[in-house]
Amino acid sequence: MGDELMLSSVINQIKSKNKEIYVLFEDNQKYNFSQWDDINFLEYPKTQKNIIQIAEYFDTLIIGGGAHLDDTFYDDKTAFSWHIPEMMMLLSKLFINKKKKTYFLSLSSNTKIKNKKFIEDLKEIINKSTYFSVRDKFSMEELINNGIDSKKIKLLNDPVFLVDIDDK
């Protein structure tokens, strides 16, 4: 329920600016996409070409909520698959290199971040992104403890708190 409320909140903020909205989810055969009759969904990228096409077509990338600060499988060639944290890194690097806007809303980490490559890449992304925020003090401290400049990180409540309680 939290993911849907957060998505609804972010979408309502964007809709108020009359912007075209596309949402990217990890593949999930059981997810009820029909509950969203007013937004477009992108098929989860299967190839690097798909990722490049996304970065070329869209002007802004918004990555919201969830434990996306997860280095569990990052840069592990034996177990590589594009989970959301890896996809976040791939897409945001492309958007940043193309001088496009990148917003990270209320990300979090469930555990300590240890992977040096993940930390190095994340540091670059945070330094060059349009906006970067985490949802809790643990995540903020974890980033700072790994050498990321605290001035580049905002502490932001989960976007779910923007939802009007009268909404369905």
Q: What is the pLDDT of residues 17-54, one digit of tens each?
A: 878 888 887 777 788 888 887 788 888 888 889 999 99
Radius of gyration of the chain (CA): 16
Question: Which residue's entry shows tokens 């600016």?
Answer: 17
Task: Determine whether domain 2-14+21-27+35-162 maps to CATH 3.40.50.
Answer: yes
Q: Which amino acid is at 159?
A: P
The mean-pLDDT minimum among 1-5, 76-80, 163-167 falls in: 76-80
* pLDDT above 60 for 80: no
Condensed to tens digits (0 to 9), the pLDDT of residues 135-161 reads: 889 999 999 999 999 999 999 876 666
Q: What is the pTM of this model?
A: 0.85
Q: Nearest 5°: phi and psi at 69?
A: -90, 70
Task: Give the start-to-end residue ranges of the domains of the chain.
Answer: 2-14+21-27+35-162
Asked if 108 and 66 touch (Cβ cutoff 8 Å), the reply is yes
Half-sphere exposure of 72 (CA within 13 A, CB side): 12
Helix (H, G, I), strand (E, B) or coil at 119: helix
